[in-house]
Structures are given as structure tokens and as C-alpha cells.
Amino acid sequence: MKKKILFFILSFMLVFSYAYADNKKIAESVRLASEANQARQNGDVDKAMALLDESIGLDPKNYMAITALAGIYADYKKDIPKSILLFKEALEINNYDMAHFGLGICYASVGMKEEAKKEFKDAIAVTDNGSLKSSAQRALTMLEKG
């Protein structure tokens, strides 16, 4: 009986330590992504990219960091194919409104109008952000008018 109790306690401690380690990684990933956002706002795009890469390395499911990195590839590096891949990766993790919107912008920029329309419609459908909804609606209207 004592062995079973000891085994249970050790098992619980092991599981708890893994969960704690994962939570620490996730928290650090979020912190790094926030620092990356600040670096980008200050014009240090290369630092922002390095911080986002580190953030994603700690938490590969950090769809917000992946979306932010996709935006940098699109806006600053003008690497639309890489940006599209990253936006799609973020969307595989979470049906994130900003990833739909960014993907729509990328598709529109390379003339993929139907794909862009779909992404803008998806962004509108999933967002509760009024500003993003308005921006997506304007982009959709522009594409529909020609």
C-alpha cells in the first residue's frame, strides 16, 4: 500500500512538473511575442523577427506570434509566399481573424481575388473586432467592384 501511495505521489509530481514547465514555456513565448511587437513598433524589424522565431520555438502553437511573423514577411520583407505559408500555419492552429485578414491581403496582392474574398469573409465571420470587421468589409467591397 505504501508503494502504491508513493508511486501515485511521484507520478503526480512528474505530471505537475511537466505541466509547470509547459506553462513557463508558454508564458515566455507570450512575453517574447510582446517584446517583438514593441521592437517592430520601434522600427527594429530584424529584432522583432528574431524574437518571434524564439517565441514560436518555445510554443509552436502560438498562432498570434506566427501571424505577427507572417505580417512582417508581408509588410517589411515583401516575401508574400512565405507570409501565405505562415498565415495558413496559424489558421491550422486557430481560426484567428487577423490571420484570415492577413491572408486575404496577401492573396489580393498577388491577384488571387477569389481566395482573398473568401479570407475577408472568414475574417468578418469570426471577428468581434469592429475595426477589423470594417477593414475586411472595405477590402471585400473593393474586390467585388473590380
Q: Assess whether pLDDT exceeds 90 at residue 20.
A: no
Q: Which pLDDT belongs to residue 21?
A: 58
Does 111 have pLDDT greater than 50?
Answer: yes
pLDDT score for 15: 46
Grid cell locating 61: 502553437
**How many residues in total does the chain contain?**
146
Q: At what angle do helices 45-58 and 63-75 cross, to 10 degrees?
A: 150
Q: Is the pLDDT of residue 112 over 60?
A: yes
**What mean pLDDT comes out for the span 37-54?**
96
The C-alpha cell of 73 is what? 514577411
Report, as an integer, the average pLDDT of 4-21: 50
Phi-psi region of 111 (alpha: psi -120 to 50; beta: other; left: phi over 0): left
Which residues in 68-92 are b (16+ Cβ under 10 Å) and which e?
bbbbbbbeeeeebebbbebbebbbe
Of the two residues 2 and 136, the one the predictor is more confident about is: 136
- Confidence category of residue 2, pLDDT binned at 50, 70, 90: low
**pLDDT by residue (tens digit) across 58-93?**
999 999 999 999 999 999 999 999 999 999 999 999
The pTM score is 0.85
8 A C-beta contact, residue 106 and residue 90: no
Q: Residue range 14-25: average pLDDT?
A: 61
Confirm if 32 and 48 have CB atoms less than 8 A apart: no
The total of other beta-carbon atoms located within 10 Å of residue 33's CB is 24
